Amino acid sequence: MKRNRIQIVLEMIKFEHSVFALPFALTGALLAARASQNGWPSLRQIAWIVVAMVAARSAAMTINRIVDLRYDRENPRTSKRALATGDLSVSFAWVFTIVAVGLFFLAAWQLNRLALELAPVALAILFFYSFTKRFTNWSHLFLGFALGISPAAAWIAVTGGLDLRILILCAAVTLWVGGFDVLYACQDVDYDLRAGLFSVPKRFGIAQALLIARAMHVGVVALLAWLAASFALPWPAWLGIAVVAVLLTYEHSLVRADDLSKLDAAFFAVNGYISLLFLLFWGAATAVWHV
């Protein structure tokens, strides 16, 4: 049965992966509202934050597919993607990107002036990532940073300003995403060698790449502990950190240098649980938090 256009578009932008960054943005919004003693984010603020996140990510993913079209066609792992097969045209992808960008600016405008003023900066960061694998082995951290700015963006969306403590969460998300992108990139070492692309696994080998990813994820746990202490958050936040640490440990137990067969399970299921459970526990922490 032939897939419809909506299914193809959702697959192109990996819509289901929105679950990775969105919970951290919502956590940032909750911390912002409670720390500024505004109570809770309004439903209107939450709705426009979600719209902004999904729109920005959709635009960034589509640009990534346009920029990497040549590589997607050549790489056996990605050759079935919609632009590579012709299921979607490049012109359609550009139109979709423009619409998503327009929706992102609309959401930023609906939130506050600073959010709108910084919207072009956010898009520049998101779009720049697509080019980094051409010149640096550390493109994984650029991807992490692209998602890592989401808690700070949510803080700005709620308060119209910025508390530097939220940058600790931005750093944690950067290392979290960067770490699991290093794991994911282990699948493409052979192709990266042929195509002249850069990555941590290509530069250091798969075994060392796994150690680097583990070090990044140890850094995530340390940063979350620093963040919880900085805000003097109550026990649910610390329990959430423990859950994240356990799940990251489990994720790394699934992947070995000589066996990457369980990588998809590590990448999709475990990281999805990490982000959702983090929001659950830290949301509970903000609910019982005496600011």
Q: How far from the centroid of its chain's Cα atoms is residue 269's Cα?
A: 15
* Termini Cα distance of the chain: 55
Q: For 99-120, how does the pLDDT look when each residue is reduced to its tens digit (9 = 90+)?
A: 999 999 999 999 999 999 999 9
If you average pLDDT over every residue of the chain, what do you get? 92
Which 3 state secondary structure label does DSSP give 79?
A: coil
Give me the number of domains the chain comprises: 1
CATH at residue 106: 1.10.357.140
Cα 280–286–289 angle (5° rounding)?
A: 140
How far apart, in whole angstroms, are the C-alpha atoms of residue 227 and residue 258? 36
> Cβ-count burial of 222 within 10 angstroms (0-12 exposed, 13-18 middle, 19+ buried)?
middle
Name the pLDDT band for 171 (thresholds 50, 70, 90). Answer: very high
At 36 the pLDDT is: 85
How many residues can be counted in the chain? 291
Q: What is the pTM of this model?
A: 0.93
Q: Is the pLDDT assigned to residue 1 strictly greater than 60?
A: no
How far apart, in whole angstroms, are the C-alpha atoms of residue 24 and residue 49? 12
Any idea what DSSP says for residue 290? -
> 218 is in which domain, residue-wise?
5-287
Q: Which stretch of 6-20, 182-196, 212-226, 230-244 has the lowest confidence by average pLDDT?
A: 6-20
Q: Which residue has the tokens 């949510």?
A: 154
- Amino acid identity of residue 4, one-letter, is N
Whole-number percent of the chain with pLDDT over 70: 95
How far apart, in whole angstroms, are the C-alpha atoms of residue 47 and residue 106? 12
At 2 the pLDDT is: 45
At 81 the pLDDT is: 87
